[in-house]
Amino acid sequence: MGERGLRVIREFQSYYDDLNGVRRAIVRRIPVAPGQRWLDIGTGDGWFALEIERVLSPRVVIGIDLARCEVELARQHAWDSHSRLSAFVQMDAYRLGFPSETFDGVGTFLALQDICLDLLSMRRLFGEINRVLRPGGWFALATTTPEDAETPSQKLALEIYQYIRAGFFTKAEIQEALERVGFEVEHLEFYPTGVNLEPEEAKAFIQFECDWLERAYGWRNKPDWQAVWARFEPRIRALGGLEVDAKVTFFLARKVRMVNPVPERLMELSREVRA
């Protein structure tokens, strides 16, 4: 997207809730019949789950998140929007508390980079998603892929995310992991959000991202937001803003076979090696 299409954001808190309608556009691309069971992983504020409820007329949508504060926020948003079919639960994405083949569809929106630190953990997550999906079920995965960053301001936003906490995977890595655990990719598209934070809003964004780690997970060694701001401020000001969450890459995949999950023991071993 060129500079002309950018929306200058003056209220940092609100840009993320809407993201220029990208959640809705993505949910509309999922070819499903009404009355299905859906799961939203890393549901955060619950916006993607609530969009699934609005657009897909499911029987039920369950949103799960590791952070209790996010689950509470999602419940509040569900209440505010008179949701009747969505429920939100605190749960770890790697240990989904559902029997195999429970869901017709699983979604996850901008959460992959928060949930998975490396390729092995991404495969493990996808294996767990494969387990809870019925044969032929859909996996709607929306994430950020670094190769889509076009402008210096978009590249800087990814650099800041990575500096604070998130890792990103390329399209090829994601596709390979999906296929390895029994998915076939049916569509691959990307959606510009047009978000461009003004410098002062970029500062609020950095503070929010750093402080959120303590709020959500009690991290005592969270990055100091003022130090992060001081480090990146000159480049943000020179660019006139920060294009955060500017592109969303959407994989629509279908479960074509079952897999044996990556064993826990292997995960533990891999952690020991990395330590």
**Residue 115 interacts with ligand SAM (CB under 6 A)?**
yes
d(CA 217, CA 165): 13
Of all residues in the shown chain, the one whose CB is closest to ligand SAM is 44
Of the candidates 97, 143, 93, 101, which has an alpha carbon nearest to the alpha carbon of residue 121?
Answer: 93
CB 47 → ligand SAM: shortest distance, Å? 5
**Residue 160 interacts with ligand SAM (CB under 6 A)?**
no
How many helices (H) and strands (E) the chain has is answered by 11, 9
CB 51 → ligand SAM: shortest distance, Å? 8
**Residue 47 interacts with ligand SAM (CB under 6 A)?**
yes
**Residue 250 interacts with ligand SAM (CB under 6 A)?**
no
Site for ligand SAM in 211-230 (CB under 6 A): 216
**Residue 43 interacts with ligand SAM (CB under 6 A)?**
yes
CB 234 → ligand SAM: shortest distance, Å? 27
- DSSP labels, 83-129: -SSEEEEE--TTS--S-TT-EEEEEEES-HHHH-SSHHHHHHHHHHH
**Residue 127 interacts with ligand SAM (CB under 6 A)?**
no
Q: Which of 53, 70, 209, 243 binds ligand SAM (CB under 6 A)?
A: 70
CB 2 → ligand SAM: shortest distance, Å? 26
Q: Which of 110, 129, 157, 246 binds ligand SAM (CB under 6 A)?
A: 110
**Residue 65 interacts with ligand SAM (CB under 6 A)?**
yes
Question: At residue 194, what are phi and psi to the nearest 5 degrees?
Answer: 75, 15
With residue 7 as reference, give the H or E element that holds it. strand 7-9
Q: Give the Å distances, CA to CA, from 192 to 19, 217, 247.
A: 9, 30, 4
Stretch that binds ligand SAM, among 43-51, 79-87, 156-164, 226-234 (CB under 6 A): 43-51
d(CA 83, CA 117): 33
d(CA 138, CA 30): 8
Stretch that binds ligand SAM, among 104-112, 198-206, 231-239, 246-254 (CB under 6 A): 104-112
Tokens 């994601």, residue located: 174
Binding site for ligand SAM (CB under 6 A): 42-45, 47-48, 64-67, 70, 92-94, 109-111, 114-115, 216
